[in-house]
Structures are given as structure tokens and as C-alpha cells.
């Protein structure tokens, strides 16, 4: 029997919107074959997100969140299919939760595809040099080292990409999985389109206090 890993279950969950246990059971039944597992879930009426992924999301909400007494602010646009859902309490709460998460965790990108190639290349270069400088890795095969580097890049996504970040209110799921859960619950396609995070004074070089200079000018 094929090994049913957490990553396999996660991948199937993101594609179908089905629950974790249902995804695992479907993978066991399909002996690890993801396509067959999707078919099993669809036959049981459990696959929802995958079927809705291509549907147009032209409605939605631009939400905001202000934190730390006005020191951090976020605006986020989340889209759905109908205005009726956009005005609903569950969707409105999702917008608030995502905005709050962005304020707290400060993601740099929305999705993996948004990360510039040169940034990823630099990360790989840094991690490669770290591995080379560690004598413990001297005799490790190249494919093993490549897997370690891939894991480090995955960690970079987890720290910097919104959809890959553990949701701040429930770290057992990512923000992407949170959205998938809502698609399954609300029964409409939902997409996070864009966001902006502001931090008071960010990018402004603050003038430091030169106490010694002030004293010198007064004396001389």
C-alpha cells in the first residue's frame, strides 16, 4: 500500500475542499492516487472547492484592519461570486480574519507565483552556501542536498507568502486552507485578489538625537 503523507492529504484538500479525514480516507481507498481520490470524493459529494475554482469572482469586499492604536493598517480585497454572499456574515468574518492576519504576520507576497525569480535564486544560493560550509554535509549525495534546499525554499514560502502562511488564529491550517474551507462552507468560489499593509513611519529615516552634538554647540 502507498504511504499516505500529510502533503498528499493537504494537496487533495486544497483541490477539493473536502475535510482532512475524508481526504485521507479517499487516498487510502485510491492507494495514494490523487486523481482517483478526487473522483471518489466527487462521487460522495464531498469535493466542492475543485469544482468551483474556475468560476468567476466579480463580487466581494475591500476590508480593512487597524492595529496597535493606528500604528499598523491593512486593506485587502477578497472576491466571491455574488453580492449576496459578499454581504453575508461568514464572508465578512473571513475578510476581517485575513486582514488581521496580514497585520500580524506581514506577508510580502500573495501567492508563490508572485515571488520574483531573482529572490528565489538568491535564497537557493544562500542555502547552498550554508550547506557547503557545514562539514556535516560533506558526504551527502547531491539529491539529498537538493531536497534540503527545496525544504528551505518551502520554509521561505511559509514565512513570506500569504496563502502559505499558517493562519494566525489557527496555525494548524494555512491561509490558503482557510479560504478552501470557506469555499466548501459558503459554496461559492472565493479568491484573495490583493492586499496592502501600512506601518506608521515605514520607509522614513528618523532623525536621531545627537545629545553630545547639542552640548558641544551650546558650549562652543
The pLDDT of residue 73: 95
Q: Mind listing the pLDDT tens digit for each residue in 108-137?
A: 999 999 999 999 999 999 888 888 787 777
pTM exceeds 0.85 for this model: no
The pLDDT of residue 211: 47
The pLDDT of residue 185: 85
In our burial notation (b when 16+ CB lie closer than 10 A, e otherwise), range 90-104 reads ebeebbebbbbbbbe
50 grid coordinates:
475543485
Which sign does the torsion angle of CA 5, 8, 13, 14 carry?
A: positive
Work out the pLDDT band at 142, boundaries 50, 70, 90. Answer: confident
- The mean predicted confidence, pLDDT, of the chain is 85
Instruction: Inform me whether the pLDDT recorded for 158 exceeds 90.
Output: yes
Amino acid at each position: 500500500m502507498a504511504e499516505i503523507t500529510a502533503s498528499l492529504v493537504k494537496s487533495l484538500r486544497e483541490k477539493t475542499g473536502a475535510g482532512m479525514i475524508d481526504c485521507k480516507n479517499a487516498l487510502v481507498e485510491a492507494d495514494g492516487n490523487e486523481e482517483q481520490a478526487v473522483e471518489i470524493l466527487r462521487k460522495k459529494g464531498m469535493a466542492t472547492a475543485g469544482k468551483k475554482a474556475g468560476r468567476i469572482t466579480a463580487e466581494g469586499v475591500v476590508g480593512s484592519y487597524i492595529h496597535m492604536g493606528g500604528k499598523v493598517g491593512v486593506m485587502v480585497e477578497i472576491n466571491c461570486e455574488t453580492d449576496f454572499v459578499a454581504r453575508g456574515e461568514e464572508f465578512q468574518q473571513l475578510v476581517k480574519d485575513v486582514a488581521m492576519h496580514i497585520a500580524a504576520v506581514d506577508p510580502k507576497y500573495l501567492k508563490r507565483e508572485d515571488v520574483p525569480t531573482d529572490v528565489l535564486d538568491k535564497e537557493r544560493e544562500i542555502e547552498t552556501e550554508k550547506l557547503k560550509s557545514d562539514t556535516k554535509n560533506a558526504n551527502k549525495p547531491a539529491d539529498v542536498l537538493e531536497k534540503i534546499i527545496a525544504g528551505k525554499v518551502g520554509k521561505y514560502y511559509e514565512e513570506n507568502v500569504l496563502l502559505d502562511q499558517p493562519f494566525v488564529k489557527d496555525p494548524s491550517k494555512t491561509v490558503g486552507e482557510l479560504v478552501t474551507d470557506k469555499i466548501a462552507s459558503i459554496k461559492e468560489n472565493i479568491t484573495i485578489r490583493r492586499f496592502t499593509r501600512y506601518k506608521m513611519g515605514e520607509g522614513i529615516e528618523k532623525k536621531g538625537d545627537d545629545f553630545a552634538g547639542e552640548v558641544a554647540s551650546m558650549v562652543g
